[in-house]
């Protein structure tokens, strides 16, 4: 299969499995996008103008839209040759569109709502149309039809939500639109008469896909480091704030260690061993979505206990300080199940411990609550290390 330039469009068996420099360049846009999401959430916890829960809901919708753009790009470049001019053009267009969405994030539920929504719809539909036209209907015209039909359902909801003046209407419209987009993505855009098909199917380059997931998770950890560094550099460098800074750095190391322990490193082998590789690759995307959301929220917690380490702990702050690690461990547990068809007891115990800490830490200071969460993560990492010493290297055994 080829585009009109004669350059192969679908990956060959000998194609490069590593991410290209252009793909890494695209990731820089999402680094900025995550900082804008974090800034919104931090403002919701500190200035209270939107309200914490309303602000979190809005930030989640914006984050899901950005993740949909990134994940569809990754699946496309894991199926199609990222060195093909058609694919490279799409990556550049994606970079421009994602950057536009990112700069709109701070006021995406206000004056920049139309910009965010119209850019998202134009990007998602435009890429599909461009692939179809530039590739002369290849590599799969039926997939083009599937995706366009599903985006045709969600696009009016995005655009109307962006254009209405009533913010109370925008939230429900965009919520339904996100649900339509993610249900279609998860199920492979089922369409009457032609059925469903996830992007690429078994032709996805497993090593490339796994590496891209790993890279985006590292981006999220890098964004958390940016948040904690910015918070500490703007502080008074007092002893308590220094302690919060050191604690936050240690927590990021624990997040990295827990993620890359075995399952985080052998995702490509799991996809290759799977009886249903398209489904496994899709579910891995959702596991990473949860983990990355947890890391971003954990980074918000860093900001809170570095800048205000002592004094009264607002109950809402526990959503970030404890809720971030909960989301991360939940997503990491899902990934472990996807790779090995089991979940380590240390991760389940960690989730239970974080839940039990809620009624205890509400009476503590912010820095102490952050320390309690870090202790739980450290216990999970120690459990991983002990299990590794007792067991030989495991072969991935995905459940499907």
Residue 137 has a pLDDT of 63
Give the DSSP H/E element, type plus range, for residue 375: helix 366-390
Residue 299 has a pLDDT of 97
pLDDT tens track of the chain, all 400 residues?
334 444 457 766 655 578 889 999 999 999 999 999 999 999 999 886 778 999 999 999 999 999 999 999 998 888 888 888 999 999 999 999 999 999 999 999 999 999 999 999 999 999 999 988 887 766 778 888 899 999 999 999 999 999 998 778 999 999 999 999 999 999 989 999 888 887 755 567 888 889 999 999 999 999 999 999 999 999 889 999 999 999 999 999 999 999 998 888 899 999 888 988 888 989 999 999 999 999 999 999 999 999 999 989 999 999 999 999 999 999 999 999 999 999 999 999 999 999 999 999 999 999 999 999 999 999 999 999 888 777 667 789 999 8
Query: Which residues, at least 6 apart from 48, have a Cβ–Cβ distance to it below 8 Å?
Result: none
Residue 4 has a pLDDT of 44
Residue 138 has a pLDDT of 66
CATH fold of 206-390, please? Answer: I/LWEQ domain (1.20.1410)
Residue 355 has a pLDDT of 96
User: For 52, how many CA atoms within 13 A lie in the half-sphere containing its CB?
Assistant: 12
Contact 397, 341 (CB under 8 A): yes
Residue 327 has a pLDDT of 98
- Sign of the dihedral through C-alpha 63, 65, 71, 73: negative
3-class state of residue 195 by DSSP: strand
Beta bridge partners of 10: 80
Cβ neighbours, 10 Å, residue 321: 28
The model's pTM is 0.93
Query: Which residues, at least 6 apart from 243, have a Cβ–Cβ distance to it below 8 Å?
Result: 309, 367
CA distances from 244 to 248, 251, 252, 369 (A): 6, 10, 12, 11
Residue 316 has a pLDDT of 94
Beta bridge partners of 191: 195
How far apart CA 322 and CA 319 sit, in angstroms, is 6
Residue 1 has a pLDDT of 37
Contact 339, 398 (CB under 8 A): yes
Of 140, 131, 144, 281, give the one whose Cα is nearest residue 205: 281
- Provide the terminal-to-terminal Cα distance of the chain, rounded to the nearest Å: 30
Residue 294 has a pLDDT of 98
Per domain, the residue ranges of the chain are: 21-203, 206-390
């Amino acid at each position: 299969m080829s585009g009109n330039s004669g350059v192969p469009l679908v990956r060959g068996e000998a194609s490069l499995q590593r991410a290209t420099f252009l793909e890494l360049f695209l990731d820089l846009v999402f680094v900025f996008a995550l900082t804008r999401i974090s800034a919104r959430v931090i403002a919701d916890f500190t200035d209270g103008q939107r309200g914490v829960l309303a602000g979190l809901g809005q930030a989640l919708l914006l984050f899901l839209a950005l993740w949909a753009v990134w994940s569809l790009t990754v699946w496309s470049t894991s199926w199609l040759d990222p060195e093909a001019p058609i694919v490279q053009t799409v990556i550049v267009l994606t970079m421009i569109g994602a950057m536009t969405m990112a700069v709109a994030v701070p006021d995406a539920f206000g004056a920049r709502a139309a910009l965010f929504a119209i850019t998202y719809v134009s990007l998602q539909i435009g890429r599909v149309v461009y692939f179809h036209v530039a590739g002369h209907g290849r590599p799969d015209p039926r997939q083009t039809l599937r995706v366009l039909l599903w985006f045709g359902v969600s696009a009016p909801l995005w655009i109307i939500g962006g254009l209405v003046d009533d913010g109370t209407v925008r939230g429900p419209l965009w919520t339904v639109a996100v649900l339509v987009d993610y249900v279609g993505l998860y199920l492979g855009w089922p369409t009457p008469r032609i059925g469903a098909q996830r992007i690429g199917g078994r032709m996805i380059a497993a090593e490339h896909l796994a590496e891209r997931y790993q890279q985006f998770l590292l981006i999220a950890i890098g964004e958390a480091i940016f948040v904690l560094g910015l918070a500490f550099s703007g502080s008074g460098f007092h002893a308590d704030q220094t302690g919060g800074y050191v604690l936050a750095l240690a927590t990021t190391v624990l997040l990295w260690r827990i993620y890359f322990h075995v399952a985080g490193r052998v995702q490509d082998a799991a996809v290759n061993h799977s009886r249903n590789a398209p489904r496994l690759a899709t579910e891995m995307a959702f596991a990473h979505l949860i983990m990355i959301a947890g890391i971003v929220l954990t980074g918000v917690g860093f900001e809170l206990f570095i800048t205000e380490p002592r004094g009264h702990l607002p109950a809402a702050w526990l959503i970030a300080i404890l809720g971030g690690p909960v989301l991360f461990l939940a997503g990491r547990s899902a990934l472990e199940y996807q790779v090995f068809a089991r979940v380590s007891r240390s991760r389940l115990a960690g989730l239970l411990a974080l839940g039990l800490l809620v009624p205890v830490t509400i009476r503590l200071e912010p820095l102490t609550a952050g320390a309690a969460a870090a202790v739980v993560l450290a216990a999970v990492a120690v459990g991983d290390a002990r299990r590794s010493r007792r067991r030989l290297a495991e072969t991935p055994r995905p459940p499907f």
